[in-house]
Every structure is written in C-alpha cells, then in structure tokens.
C-alpha cells in the first residue's frame, strides 16, 4: 500500500500543527502521530486514550507515558483539511506529575472495561445511545496491555450514577482535558 506524506509544521499560539495526507482506511493514528511528533518508546507505563466521533471527522489522541520515572503527557487533535488530515498538539498547562497524581487518585490503574459491567446494565431499563463519542483506552504496564472502550461515559454516568466505572472514566477524561485547558470538552 502506498502512502503519501506531506509535512507542514506551523507554530501558532503554542500549538504545533502538522498536516498529513494519507490513505484514510489504512491509517494507524499511533504510527502517524509518532512519525511526526516522536512519541516515547520502551516505556514503563503508558496510557493512550483515543476518541472516535460518530459521523464526524476529527479525533483526540492522549498519551501519558513514564520512562525511568520521567513523565510525558501529550494531547493531539485530528482535524479534517481539504488536502487530508492534520494533527495538532496542544501544550500541557500543568505539571505532568500533578496530572498523573490526579489520574491515579481517580483510579487510573483500576479501570474496568465497559464490557465488564454489562451485567449491571442488563438489570437496568433499556437505554441506548446511538450517536456520540467512543473513548478507546489502552493501558500498558510491565509489558501487559489492557484495551477497552467506553461509549459516552459522561452520559452513562449521569443516567446510572451507581455504576462507578462510568463516573470514573468521565472523571479521568475531565482531568485529562482540564490539564490542556479544555473546560467542558467531554460531550457525552
């Protein structure tokens, strides 16, 4: 498969924007972001959260990594351009250690998957969300990787506050976005 990459870097308002033209159906966000922004390799701990927006273009890609007790936290946003897609990196407004400690306090390492709480949901009235945002969460620690998805955790947390996993994920996302200056970025 042939990829054509065109790289343009623009520094404006402390954001680095890189435009790329590539085959949409074959893209791998991690590899593309890494090729432009050089993500940390061989990390001791890594949290990746990627958004999937239903029926809209654009996505967010959050990476928290720890290597030899050095923390890195980065947020990238994908936007559709006439010539392809662009990834923009936002500056972290807080200390990586402060953000990491907040995430740990909210149970970062103990997140259960949406699938693991299906029994709790089965006992509830039928509730379906047909639109919205899916958050793909990947945690890698000590060579072990856990990957799971949450669809509209904020909406589910409001509907079923007794199911702690929804509230936990919504709070983690809020901490993440606040660290980059987004006050109410979680839409559902």
Q: Which of 158, 40, 15, 149 is nearest to 90 (CA)?
A: 15
Q: Which residues contact 165 (CB under 8 A, 6 or more apart)?
A: 111, 112, 114, 116, 117, 150
pLDDT bin (cut points 50, 70, 90) of residue 133 is confident
The set of residues, in sequence order, having a beta carbon less than 8 Å from that of 35 and lying 6+ positions away, is 5
How far apart are the C-alpha atoms of 1 and 67, rounded to whole Å?
33
Asked if residue 39 belongs to a domain, the reply is yes
Reported as a pLDDT band with limits 50, 70 and 90, residue 98 is very high
Would 1 be classed as within a structural domain? Answer: no
Quickly state the pLDDT bin for 126 (edges 50, 70, 90): low
Residue 130 has, within 13 A of its CA and on its CB side, a CA count of: 0
Say if CB 18 and CB 37 are below 8 A apart.
yes
What pLDDT is attached to residue 58?
67
In a domain, 94, yes or no: yes
**pLDDT value of residue 104:** 92
Q: What is the DSSP string of 138-165?
A: EEEETTEEEEEEEESHHHHHHH-TT-HH
> Nearest Cα to 135, choosing from 53, 42, 14?
53
Please report whether residue 111 resides in a domain: yes
3-class SS of residue 21: coil
Q: Total domain count for the chain? A: 1
Instruction: Give the residue, 13 or 65, on which the prediction is more confident.
Output: 65
Output the pTM of the full model: 0.76
Tokens 């923009």, residue?
A: 88
Q: How far apart, in whole angstroms, are the C-alpha atoms of residue 143 and residue 174?
A: 27
* Structural domain harbouring 58: 8-178
Evaluate if residue 35 carries a pLDDT over 50.
yes
Residue 20 forms part of a structural domain: yes
Residue 187 has pLDDT above 60, yes or no: yes
pLDDT at 7: 32
Burial of 26 (0-12, 13-18, 19+ CB in 10 A): exposed
Is a pLDDT exceeding 90 seen at residue 148?
no
| SS3 state of residue 85 | strand
pLDDT tens, residue by residue, 37-86: 888 888 999 999 888 776 555 688 899 999 998 999 999 888 777 766 77
Q: What is the pLDDT of residues 110-125, one digit of tens each?
A: 877 666 676 666 655 5
pLDDT on residue 134: 83
Taking CA atoms, 159 is separated from 12, 92, 128, 165, in Å, by 40, 31, 11, 12
Pick the more confident residue, 97 or 33: 97
The reply to whether 2 falls in a domain is no
Residue 3 falls inside a structural domain: no
Does any domain span residue 187?
no
């Amino acid at each position: 498969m042939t990829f054509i990459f065109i790289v343009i870097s623009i520094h404006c308002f402390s954001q680095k924007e890189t435009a790329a033209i590539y085959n949409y159906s074959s893209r791998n966000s991690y590899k593309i972001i890494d090729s432009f922004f050089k993500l940390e390799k061989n990390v001791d701990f890594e949290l990746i959260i990627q958004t999937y927006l239903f029926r809209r273009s654009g996505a967010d890609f959050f990476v928290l990594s720890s290597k030899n007790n050095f923390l890195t936290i980065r947020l990238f946003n994908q936007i559709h351009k006439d010539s392809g897609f662009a990834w923009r990196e936002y500056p972290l407004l807080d200390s990586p250690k402060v953000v990491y400690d907040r995430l740990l306090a909210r149970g970062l390492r103990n997140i259960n998957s949406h699938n693991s709480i299906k029994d709790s949901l089965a006992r509830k009235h039928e509730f379906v969300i047909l639109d919205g945002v899916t958050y793909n969460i990947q945690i890698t620690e000590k060579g072990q990787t856990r990957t799971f998805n949450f669809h509209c955790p904020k909406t589910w947390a409001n509907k079923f506050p007794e199911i702690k996993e929804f509230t936990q994920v919504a709070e983690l996302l809020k901490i993440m976005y606040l660290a980059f200056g987004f006050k109410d970025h979680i839409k559902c």
